[in-house]
């Protein structure tokens, strides 16, 4: 991983694209006897995502997960570009590129497993949590020192915002981390 190279890219990022399970979560689910299950997500990730959206960055969630709790979580954060049950994450990424007119080289994608490799290869700044699978680690230009669900999202979002001079400067009331 070329640390200087990834830092040079932070200032150009206009869209932040994330997988959910293994990135926003630790990849573990609690399964109840009814068959329902729950994920745990990091509130610091939520704060950073809200701030990035307020600062004008597009936040896009593309996941193979199908549970409505994903929609609930991100809608409460004000994020509406959410794709559930994705069978082709690259296809969805290209749709957002075309819809928003944001070049792929101006996008950051953070994933942790094999379905994330193609979209990671397509964007300007592929990132992953520390505990991503080996195939993903080999594709990433930046590997967060934090594992999935433990602040890796906050790590990359904060770096982008700081590189763009957008981390401070606004009243922080009204956040729903």
Please enumerate, by residue number, every residue annotated as part of a binding site: 19, 21, 112
Binding-site annotation: residue ranges for Mg(2+) = 19, 112
In this structure, the strands spanning 58-62 and 15-18 are parallel
Please name which of 158, 172, 126, 148 lies closest in space to residue 41, comparing C-alpha atoms. Answer: 148
Classify the phi-psi angles of 29: left when phi > 0, otherwise alpha if psi is within -120 to 50, otherwise beta: beta
Residue 15: left (phi > 0), alpha (psi -120 to 50), or beta? beta
Cα-based torsion angle of the residue sequence 70, 73, 76, 82 in order, rounded to the nearest 10 degrees = -30
Binding residues for substrate: 21
- For strand 125-128 and strand 107-110, is the pairing parallel, antiparallel, or unpaired? parallel
**Distance of alpha carbon 19 from the chain centroid:** 6
């Amino acid at each position: 991983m070329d640390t200087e190279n990834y830092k040079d890219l932070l200032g150009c990022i206009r869209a932040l694209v994330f997988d959910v399970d293994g990135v926003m979560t630790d990849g573990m689910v609690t399964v109840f006897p009814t068959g329902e299950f729950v994920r745990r997500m990091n509130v610091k990730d939520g704060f950073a995502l809200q701030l990035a959206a307020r600062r004008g960055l597009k936040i896009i969630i593309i996941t193979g997960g199908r549970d409505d709790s994903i929609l609930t979580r991100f809608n409460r954060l004000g994020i509406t570009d959410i794709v559930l049950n994705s069978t082709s994450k690259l296809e969805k990424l290209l749709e957002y590129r075309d819809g928003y007119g944001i070049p792929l080289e101006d996008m950051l994608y953070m994933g942790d497993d094999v379905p994330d490799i193609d979209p990671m290869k397509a964007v300007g700044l592929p990132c992953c949590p520390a505990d991503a699978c080996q195939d993903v680690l080999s594709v990433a230009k930046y590997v967060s020192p934090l594992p999935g669900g433990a602040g890796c999202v906050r790590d990359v979002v904060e770096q982008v915002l700081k590189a763009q001079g957008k981390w401070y400067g606004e009243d922080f009331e009204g956040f729903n981390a």
